[in-house]
Amino acid sequence: MSKVIETKMSGDASLRHAQADFASTFAAFKAANDERLAQIEAKSAADPLLAEKVSRIDAALQSQQDRVTRLTINAATPGAQPETQNRSEVKSAWSGYIRTGDTNALAALEGKSLTVGTDAEGGYVAPAQTESRIDRALTESSPFRQICTVRQVGANSYKKPVSADGTNAGWAGETDARPMTDSPVLELLDIPTGELYAMPAATQMLLDDGVADVDQWLADEVRDVFAAQETAAFVGGNGVNKPKGILGYSAVANSAAGFGTIGYVPTGTDGGFDAGAPIDALIELIYAPKSRYRAGASFVMNRRTVSALRKFKDADGNYIWQPAQSAGQPSTLLGYPLVEAEDMPDIASDTTPIAFGDFRRGYLIVDRQGVRVLRDPYSAKPYVLFYTTKRVGGGVQDFDALKLLKFSLS
């Protein structure tokens, strides 16, 4: 027990030191950037050495922010929970299959209905606790899973009718007649799932190590691969055998947006912000969605765009980007949470590198229940491959909830 406490205390201390380093670097960044802005205002140009210094501090700031995020996730990882006898039996059988390829115990459990099912050619469906570990690890690494709605389904697609013009309603007294409302315009929301796969490899020596947690190893190995592929699809996927991303839909001027399209706000400058009032476009973007979506809204962009916005100040001289106030919380932009997604495009002519809105109401991620694992000790001897598959879909479910900032004249 003392060893566990010591480890936790050590992790807490590391997190505190990382946060202190981050705060110190941010203070240095503000001081250097203030000097750069003053030089630009006085001489219409900044000293190249000072500009280089600001860039170096900005890169260090990003690295330290990533470290704080990693330490925060590690500190929040829950410990192992007590297992029932059945769960222990399933875990033992599953561990035997992963370590040695023995399927006898899994076959016996299938007769007791303790596993989802097996398939000699397609692999074995992982038990619920293994799938839960993979899902938890994936959520920790996937920016979209942290802000969007995630729904589990038992079929290959998720379908539901939605009203394209909003739900009709009205008021009536206790004995008043209820007149017929106008018929709603219904659209079918159809989100199919595509197969996401990874093929981590292990040595037999690792698998023979009785102390090694093979479930956690598998979850850790597929986490980054799955998260990277998912994020790319949630941003720009075309919906063919993969999710349809927020940039996979047609972007139209916000005044013309409707069901099936996402509205955008132009910066008024081709490939950049307005030189005199760069923040105005961001403020217009914030007010593009209806008020009911702003309470739960977030900004989404890549780290290079964050780096550009980190240098901006508001009319009162305050930086519009602010670091997280406590561990586990995101940084903010103009008071709204800021989420980094590396697959968002860079700032360039006619691109839409910044998204804003209530992603929990706007974007739906669909997971089909069941993670399948096929053990392959033959294809890459002396390594053992684990072909791991998961079916995932995604798409916009409320087009009014999400808006884009387009770097264009109109």
pLDDT tens digits, 234-257: 999 999 999 999 999 999 999 999
Q: Within its chain, how far is the Cα of 254 from the centroid?
A: 25
C-alpha span between 299 and 131 (Å, rounded)? 30
How far apart, in Å, are the Cα atoms of 92 and each of 67, 82, 98, 109, 308? Answer: 35, 14, 10, 11, 52
C-alpha span between 337 and 312 (Å, rounded)? 16
Provide mean pLDDT across the span 142-149. Answer: 94
pLDDT at 401: 97
How far apart, in Å, are the Cα atoms of 64 and each of 23, 67, 180? Answer: 9, 5, 60
Q: Looking at residue 155, what DSSP letter applies? A: S
Q: Which of 373, 106, 382, 391 is nearest to 215 (CA)?
A: 373
pLDDT at 169: 65
Contact present, 398 and 359 (Cβ < 8 Å): no
Contact present, 350 and 270 (Cβ < 8 Å): yes
pLDDT at 392: 96
The 10s digit of each residue's pLDDT in 96-111 is 889 888 888 777 766 5
- In the chain, count H helices and then E strands: 12, 18
Q: Looking at residue 331, what DSSP letter applies? A: P
pTM of the full structure: 0.79
pLDDT at 43: 78
Whether the predicted pLDDT of 224 surpasses 50? yes
pLDDT at 83: 42
The 10s digit of each residue's pLDDT in 257-308 is 999 999 999 999 999 999 889 999 999 999 999 999 999 999 999 999 999 9
Q: How many C-beta atoms surround the C-beta of residue 149 within 10 A?
A: 16
pLDDT at 51: 83
CB-neighbour burial class of residue 28 (10 A; exposed 0-12, middle 13-18, buried 19+): middle
Whether the predicted pLDDT of 1 surpasses 50? no
Q: Collapsing DSSP states into helix, strand and coil, what is residue 241?
A: coil
C-alpha span between 398 and 311 (Å, rounded)? 33
pLDDT at 167: 58
Whether the predicted pLDDT of 182 surpasses 70? no
Token pair belonging to 227: 């998260």
Phi, psi of 379 (to 5 degrees): -70, -25
Mean pLDDT of the chain: 85
For residue 110, which amino acid is it?
E
Whether the predicted pLDDT of 79 surpasses 90? no
CB-neighbour burial class of residue 217 (10 A; exposed 0-12, middle 13-18, buried 19+): middle
- Residue 74 confidence class, pLDDT cut points 50, 70, 90: low
CB-neighbour burial class of residue 259 (10 A; exposed 0-12, middle 13-18, buried 19+): middle
Q: Which of 361, 333, 306, 141 is nearest to 231 (CA)?
A: 141
Provide mean pLDDT across the span 47-74. Answer: 79
The 10s digit of each residue's pLDDT in 322-381 is 998 777 788 999 999 999 999 999 999 999 999 999 999 999 999 998 899 999 999 999
Provide, rounded to the nearest whole percent, the portion of the chain with pLDDT above 90: 48
pLDDT at 335: 95
Provide mean pLDDT across the span 114-132. Answer: 67
